[in-house]
């Protein structure tokens, strides 16, 4: 019931964080800043918060950035921060998808660690180029597949790795939402606008936005590698340019099967991300909206409800747990875990020390896998729904 | 809060029911007899309860059948009952799948109404022959797709028919179980034995046993007609001859999409049948294990929990409801509704009266559709997972 | 997964059942008849179904009673049935509360077994007189505290008796309803009319109707005996003559504590009966509306969900289970279990054999305890809310 | 779906926060610091983190406090901070209960705003003295009844204030835990040690620790004022000096009734705080462990599930909401809302501006009410369980 090893960093010990995107009217920028702040590991000191220089500066003022670190654009910021002795330790990239690539490249090129939103890029070629660059530069690159930061997701992963489920046979993922049930993009709503626009989102709509989260979660937890997929992408809302619903069948290496259903047109579903994994010895079930619970169902025994911080919760969940069982943690805490884990890697790199093997966050490799998944889905669906080797 | 129009029939007014199959050691026979008895509409008076004459007679004795109506085999029974002035009004067929066809044919041929378990037959040709025969003879033929008897399933159907969900876009069905996680058939367990045997079950294992239930429920509730499907059937347990897991993608006429996942190897799932339907205006969700609840989610409003017998429950649920809200009804009550609805049709036919248009039970046509579905799934999967027009 | 030992009785082997009360417009009469029929243990053959002779006869005709066993009143019925060689084996008493006593007495006096609704009587004196009479006559007397018929209630009792919870410290019962939120009795609704009328219900309103159910369930499951209670009864609806809400504090012999809250004015609660029991080693939680689940929470381990028919369910639940886990049983099945258990006792008495020690149903002793509880609650509350020794 | 009006404060604009208590091994100190940090409204700059000077200094070093603001004791700290031109704007008091009074008094006396843990003090006299002092000084004094910070708790309060439930009749609160099921205090566990010690906790054990939370929540949400109570406090664990279980009956002014059950010996309950309120027109139900949901049950309509950030959520919830519906917020966010609301009051006081009427946090008055409640419970129980006027 204590919060082991989670002491505040304290002033002067915090990492310096910059941000690109996330200015006025954005949703995810505020989430990233709060997540960075939660465990007192980062101090937000610099930004190029909008693609429009004026809005960028105005947003920075609003957030209290010092004038000399409130930049009109990301290129200027990368150059200036690289030159400063007290330059940022990492940049958070929270722009629409199409900008992830150029921004990440700019900061990697000047030697700055990156924390980037998903999907990594809008094309496979770009994703591979970033992967290459990260390896060359030896920098830390985190991709905010934030659901893998939830304690009970880590618990699930640990249990499967330990063999509690036996050999995995089935992985069922789903992520229904309802916010695009109507043509919201035609009202000018900012989120709907860019997320349904191929020029800014890439070729995947729903599948790129939340299908990729589901896929990352499924593979992170199960430890399986995808072999083939078959996708049926649909745009239900008339006039919509990208898919708002995705059914995907999965064949994993080694013979496991599964499916992913992601939808933005399923009324009554807010963020219904759910993962179920079944093996020869038992099953697991986790739901994002109620993230402090993990159902564990050993075959032939009563179902068990493992709770975050409670009896049965193991080490990998414990190290990302802040409060006692029965006091719920949520989305922001899970998100913050990615930031705090990345901070450990960034400090280790800075200090030339080894990263603790328990540090776990999605990297550029996971980012690449996500882009490959989206591209394969689009390809399969365009071909009429055929099996594709990934 | 009252039980409208559900008076007991009383002695002398009950329909006479015979049964084929359902003897010692069978599970579903006792369920059928209890379901028939629940609303006092049937009296169980005759049987050929096993494929082995000795076991047949012994089972009938145990159940108190009169000696002259306790038959060694179904053919003798059909002939004898047809000749009696007090012969049975209907026969319940509860044998393994491969016997449905010959038994049903025998009773239809002598003019006796049939209540038959699902799947209707093991081949499409047989199914069509029965359909033809029913039409020629003008008899009542019910197929016990029992889940369509649950009040809240009828509520769901009524709401969709009324347009509460708008135009339907998505139909998500699933039916996970876990009882075949291990090679149970190799232990001699009777249920597992015949259900995994192609000679007695037909070409579909899991997909024929519970996939077909899910499909019937999905189409019954949504009112949609299937256009194409793509299936991935798997036998996970080594040595098993039939599929124990089925993933099916669905394309409905008119553009709706959907999927069905049925499994017998998903530990922790007992009978996890669940249906979700989404339209332009709202969604519905129903779960068999908690059948007295129906989630209704009108888009842009708080989710609503409609309860059997409670506020918001309509006429079609009301007429198959026995007890007040908050007092749960279950599987047997839903099953009994099929029997009681069939009784209404049988009486109407006997009396030459019209069947009330509200009487609703799955007929031979639904039986045929189920067989077509199973065959298409097997064909699609055998071809490597391709789209099949049904 | 099989239905052990639950064979139908078959014609000619059924017990003969009569009924007093339960005619047109009644709710509970139909429930009793269905419960009696479910396991094929009873045949309903005689009745005096209303306090009005004409309505009585009309109701009997509607239910198909033979003319010579369709009685105008209970006294005539008791006398006539006692004389018949094929007279009834038992009578079900389903009248308003104030009639339980005279009717039960009449049938006991002529040597007929009784199955009586709760509360047993409207006064303690009457209750004790019936108890005395039952002992003198050596007859079977069941009181339909039907919730004790649910399989998972028996499971809970078995686990506590075995010591799975250690020494019991706390028993929390509640039974909120909402059907009397408004002055329904002033609309002439039949159920509300007599249940809020002291002349027909007795001195307890809500506490007598559902508080007593909760108390019986609490003591049946926990095995504890009440020592003292303190009650706060309230009539929230203006003009209502009996309590529609009851808060009761409990001190059990041996030091355990607890409380019961029963209400008929709690909007959103249909039949929210719930029991929680906690001991030194673990806890249990059961909810009537979802009766197939039992939470078992051994201290220091993950919570476990025990399901009817599933892993972890023991013998006492198994013998009153009809269908496999995941196929829900409900209110009528639980009710039927009381009837079927009583049938076993009635047959044993008739045959002069021992009653199997596993046979379990509430008897006249439980009926007396319920009446004592209600009287003590009324007394405590009338005195301003003081502790009363029971 | 956006995060309105929740911009970060930014460096230089944050309030300066000190802390007394909350050093090494403490649980709640870290929670307070995190809550203060979440919305970027406070900077933690000074502390006297333990009652032992050496531990105090060590703890401050660990947390990165500057040497000149890392104090050996609270008296030194109060004096020094009052003198500094950049002295703290507020002190958070997170010591065991018995120290709340002297520490709060010391800081109030030097003109520093206070954020104090609950219960306010261990005696009524002290509580009233603090209340007096706050009024004299005109300072901001927040008491961290953190559950009133949850968005859906505010939603519930708003709905009741608007009349959505009609006139309130019933308030049912409960807070079961299980962590003191065994004599944990005898193992030296720090939390158990002081919380079961009258010298540090005051006269109430369970009732003071969590009963008071439940009471505050019940009155905050319902808007009712308590008139009388009757309490039954029990120490179930042998040797325990304070109650570990509390049953309390409530009579509110105006005629509403209710009850509170708080327990620390109910296995399977982590932090099971739950509130149900019923009125003439409807009901509400909220559970702390699943805080993003609020059941609203208008009488005679289907139950509705209102979700944080979703349709049906009103203004008072909206202003303390950070992320979109379906992305859960938890305990820390609710706690942070108290801090952020207090920050608004502190800034307004500093700037001489009016506090927005929507700002809502528990004050010294709520603290006094809580102490009065605990004392009355202890008095009632000691007298054998009698009604006490509060």
pLDDT at D275 exceeding the cut of 90: yes
Which chain A residues are within 8 Å of B172, Cβ to Cβ? 261
Does B304 contact D307 at a Cβ distance shorter than 8 Å?
no
Q: Quick one: pLDDT at residue C354?
A: 83
Q: What are the residues whose beta carbons fall under 8 Å from the beta carbon of D132, sequence distance 6 or more?
A: none
Q: Quick one: pLDDT at residue B4?
A: 40
Count chain C–chain D contacts defined by CB atoms under 8 A. Answer: 110
Three-class secondary structure of residue A156 per DSSP: helix
CA atoms within 13 A on the CB side of D289: 19
Which chain B residues are within 8 Å of D310, Cβ to Cβ? 302
pLDDT at A100 exceeding the cut of 70: yes
pTM exceeds cut of 0.95? yes
End-to-end CA distance of chain A: 44
* Length of chain A, in residues: 390
The position carrying tokens 């830390």 is A140
**Using CB atoms, which residue from A234, A266, A281 is nearest to B278?**
A266
Band of residue D370 on the pLDDT scale cut at 50, 70, 90? very high
Q: Parallel, antiparallel, or unpaired: how do β-strands A15-20 and A90-93 relate?
A: parallel
φ and ψ of B22, to 5 deg: 85, 20
Does A8 contact D291 at a Cβ distance shorter than 8 Å?
no
**Using CB atoms, which residue from A170, A249, A279 is nearest to B249?**
A249
| H/E stretch holding A374 | helix A364-382
Write down which chains contact chain D via at least 3 CB pairs under 8 A: A, B, C
**Secondary structure letter of residue C372 according to DSSP:** H
Does D307 contact B310 at a Cβ distance shorter than 8 Å?
no
Mutation choice for D interface testing from C184, C239, C268 by most D CBs within 10 A: C268
Angle between helices A28-38 and D28-38 (to 10 degrees): 150
Which chain A residues are within 8 Å of D272, Cβ to Cβ? 326
Chain B closest-CA separation from residue D279 CA (Å): 18
CB B88 within 8 A of CB B112: yes
Sheet with D42-48, edge to edge strand ranges:
D42-48, D15-20, D90-93, D113-116, D141-143
Q: What are the residues whose beta carbons fall under 8 Å from the beta carbon of D130, sequence distance 6 or more?
A: D101, D104, D105, D108, D120, D121, D141, D364, D367, D368
pLDDT at B26 exceeding the cut of 90: no
State the average pLDDT over residues B198-215. Answer: 96
B312 touches chain D (CB under 8 A): yes
When computed from its CA atoms, the radius of gyration of chain D, rounded to whole angstroms, is 21
Share of chain C above pLDDT 90, in %: 93
State the average pLDDT over residues B299-313. Answer: 96
Structure confidence by residue, pLDDT tens digits, A307-351: 999 999 999 999 999 999 999 999 999 999 999 999 999 999 999
d(CA A43, CA A88): 9
d(CA D332, CA D320): 12
User: Rounded to the nearest 5 degrees, what angle is found at the Cα of C368, between the Cα atoms of C364 and C372?
Assistant: 170
Does B305 contact D306 at a Cβ distance shorter than 8 Å?
no
Structure confidence by residue, pLDDT tens digits, C102-125: 999 999 999 999 999 999 999 999
Write down which chains contact chain A via at least 3 CB pairs under 8 A: B, C, D
Q: How far is Cα of residue A191 from the mean position of the Cα atoms in its chain?
A: 17
Does D330 contact A330 at a Cβ distance shorter than 8 Å?
yes
CB D386 within 8 A of CB D227: no
Chain A residue whose CA is closest to C313: A302
Structure confidence by residue, pLDDT tens digits, A244-273: 999 999 999 999 999 999 999 999 999 999
Does A272 contact D326 at a Cβ distance shorter than 8 Å?
yes
Q: Quick one: pLDDT at residue B7?
A: 56
Nearest to B196 by CA among B235, B144, B247: B235
Band of residue A122 on the pLDDT scale cut at 50, 70, 90? very high
d(CA C80, CA C59): 19
CB D10 within 8 A of CB D329: no
B264 touches chain C (CB under 8 A): no
Which chain C residues are within 8 Å of B40, Cβ to Cβ? 33, 37
Residue C132, number of CB atoms within 10 A of its CB: 12
Residue D372 corresponds to which tokens in the numbers above? 């009065």
Does C25 contact B2 at a Cβ distance shorter than 8 Å?
yes
3-state DSSP: chain D helix, strand, coil percent, rounded to 5?
A: 40, 20, 40
How far, in Å, are A287, A290, A307, C106 from residue A295 at the CA level? Answer: 9, 11, 9, 56
How far, in Å, are B54, B58, B96 from residue B51 at the CA level? Answer: 9, 12, 10
CB A215 within 8 A of CB A199: no
d(CA A107, CA A93): 10
Q: How far is Cα of residue D62 from the mean position of the Cα atoms in its chain?
A: 27
Q: Quick one: pLDDT at residue D24?
A: 83
Q: Which of A:215-254 have CB within 8 Å of B? A: 230, 232, 234, 236, 245, 247, 249, 251
Between D5 and C159, residue with greater pLDDT: C159
Band of residue D5 on the pLDDT scale cut at 50, 70, 90? very low
Which chain C residues are within 8 Å of B38, Cβ to Cβ? 34, 37-38
State the average pLDDT over residues B147-172. Answer: 98
Chain C closest-CA separation from residue D54 CA (Å): 35
Which chain C residues are within 8 Å of B293, Cβ to Cβ? none
CB C24 within 8 A of CB C50: yes
End-to-end CA distance of chain B: 44
Q: Which of B:322-351 have CB within 8 Å of C? A: 322-333
Average pLDDT, whole number, for chain D?
Answer: 95
D282 touches chain C (CB under 8 A): yes
Structure confidence by residue, pLDDT tens digits, B314-353: 999 999 999 999 999 999 999 999 999 999 999 999 999 8
Nearest to D208 by CA among D368, D369, D379, D371: D371
3-state DSSP: chain B helix, strand, coil percent, rounded to 5?
A: 40, 20, 40
State the average pLDDT over residues C154-167. Answer: 98
d(CA B96, CA C170): 50
CB B108 within 8 A of CB B114: yes
3-state DSSP: chain A helix, strand, coil percent, rounded to 5?
A: 40, 20, 40
**Secondary structure letter of residue C89 according to DSSP:** S
Does C38 contact B37 at a Cβ distance shorter than 8 Å?
yes
d(CA D175, CA B256): 47
Chain D residue whose CA is closest to A269: D326
d(CA D278, CA D172): 9
Structure confidence by residue, pLDDT tens digits, D172-227: 999 999 999 999 999 989 889 999 999 999 999 999 999 999 999 999 999 999 99
Mutation choice for C interface testing from D238, D268, D281, D294 by most C CBs within 10 A: D268
Residue C310 corresponds to which tokens in the numbers above? 């599933």
Q: Quick one: pLDDT at residue A1?
A: 32
Q: Parallel, antiparallel, or unpaired: how do β-strands B168-176 and B257-263 relate?
A: parallel
d(CA A31, CA A144): 11
d(CA A77, CA A84): 11
pLDDT at B267 exceeding the cut of 70: yes
d(CA B337, CA B348): 17
Chain A residue whose CA is closest to B183: A280
Q: Parallel, antiparallel, or unpaired: how do β-strands D282-287 and D293-298 relate?
A: antiparallel
Residue B273 corresponds to which tokens in the numbers above? 């049948």
d(CA B218, CA B201): 22
φ and ψ of B90, to 5 deg: -155, 155
Q: What are the residues whose beta carbons fall under 8 Å from the beta carbon of C383, sequence distance 6 or more?
A: none
When computed from its CA atoms, the radius of gyration of chain A, rounded to whole angstroms, is 21
Structure confidence by residue, pLDDT tens digits, A39-91: 999 999 999 999 999 999 999 999 999 999 999 999 999 999 999 999 999 99
CB B119 within 8 A of CB B208: yes
The position carrying tokens 């012969």 is B87
Three-class secondary structure of residue B194 per DSSP: helix
| H/E stretch holding A91 | strand A90-93
Average pLDDT, whole number, for chain B?
Answer: 95
Question: Given its phi and psi angles, is residue B330 left (phi above 0), alpha (psi -120 to 50 degrees) or beta?
Answer: beta
Which chain D residues are within 8 Å of A322, Cβ to Cβ? 30-31, 34, 332
Does C324 contact B1 at a Cβ distance shorter than 8 Å?
no
Angle between helices D331-351 and D28-38 (to 10 degrees): 60
Q: What are the residues whose beta carbons fall under 8 Å from the beta carbon of D129, sequence distance 6 or more?
A: D101, D105
C290 touches chain A (CB under 8 A): no
Total H helices, total E strands in chain C: 13, 14
d(CA A38, CA C248): 46
Chain C residue whose CA is closest to A305: C303
Residue D199 corresponds to which tokens in the numbers above? 């010298």
**Secondary structure letter of residue C22 according to DSSP:** -
Mutation choice for A interface testing from C155, C302, C304, C317 by most A CBs within 10 A: C302
Q: Quick one: pLDDT at residue A279?
A: 98
d(CA D75, CA D65): 18
Which chain A residues are within 8 Å of C301, Cβ to Cβ? 311-312
Domains in chain C, ordered, with CATH? 150-321+367-389 (3.30.360.10)
φ and ψ of B209, to 5 deg: -80, -50
Q: Which of A:9-38 have CB within 8 Å of D? A: 9-13, 25, 27, 30-31, 33-34, 37-38
Q: Quick one: pLDDT at residue C7?
A: 56
Partners of D116 in beta bridges: D93, D143
d(CA A82, CA A75): 11
User: Rounded to the nearest 5 degrees, what angle is found at the Cα of A42, between the Cα atoms of A36 and A43?
Assistant: 110
Residue D294 corresponds to which tokens in the numbers above? 């609020």
A158 touches chain B (CB under 8 A): no
């Amino acid at each position: 019931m204590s919060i082991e090893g989670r002491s505040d960093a304290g002033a002067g010990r915090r990492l310096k964080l910059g941000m690109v995107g996330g200015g006025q009217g954005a949703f995810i920028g505020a989430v990233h800043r709060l997540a960075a702040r939660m465990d007192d590991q980062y101090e937000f000191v610099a930004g190029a918060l909008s693609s429009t220089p004026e809005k960028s500066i105005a947003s920075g003022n609003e957030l209290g950035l010092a004038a000399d670190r409130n930049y009109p654009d990301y290129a200027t910021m990368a150059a200036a921060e690289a030159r400063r002795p007290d330059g940022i330790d990492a940049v958070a990239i929270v722009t629409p998808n199409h900008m992830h690539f150029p921004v990440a490249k700019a900061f990697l090129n000047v030697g700055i660690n990156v924390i980037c939103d998903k999907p990594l890029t809008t094309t496979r070629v770009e994703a591979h180029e970033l992967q290459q660059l990260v390896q060359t530069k030896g920098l830390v690159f985190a991709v905010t597949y934030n659901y893998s930061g939830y304690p009970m997701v880590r618990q699930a992963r640990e249990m499967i790795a330990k063999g509690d489920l036996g050999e995995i046979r089935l992985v069922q993922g789903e992520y229904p939402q309802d916010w695009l049930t109507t043509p919201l993009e035609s009202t000018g709503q900012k989120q709907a606008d860019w997320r349904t626009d191929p020029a800014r989102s890439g070729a995947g709509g729903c599948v790129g936005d939340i299908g990729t989260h589901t896929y990352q979660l499924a593979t992170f937890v199960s430890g399986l590698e995808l072999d083939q997929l078959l996708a049926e992408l649909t745009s239900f809302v008339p006039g919509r340019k990208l898919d708002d619903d995705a059914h995907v069948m999965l064949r994993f290496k080694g013979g496991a099967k599964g499916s992913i259903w992601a939808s933005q047109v399923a009324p009554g579903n807010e963020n219904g991300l759910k993962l179920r994994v079944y093996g020869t010895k038992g099953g697991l079930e986790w739901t994002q909206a109620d993230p402090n619970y993990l159902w564990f169902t050993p075959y032939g025994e009563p179902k068990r409800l493992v709770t975050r911080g409670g009896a049965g919760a193991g080490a990998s969940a414990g190290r990302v747990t802040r409060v006692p069982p029965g006091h719920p943690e949520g989305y922001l805490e899970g998100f913050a875990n990615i930031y705090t884990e990345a901070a450990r890697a960034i400090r280790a790199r800075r200090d030339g020390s080894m990263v603790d093997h328990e540090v776990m966050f999605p990297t550029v490799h996971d980012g690449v896998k996500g882009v490959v998944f989206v591209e394969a889905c689009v390809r399969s669906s365009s071909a009429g729904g055929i099996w594709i080797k990934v």
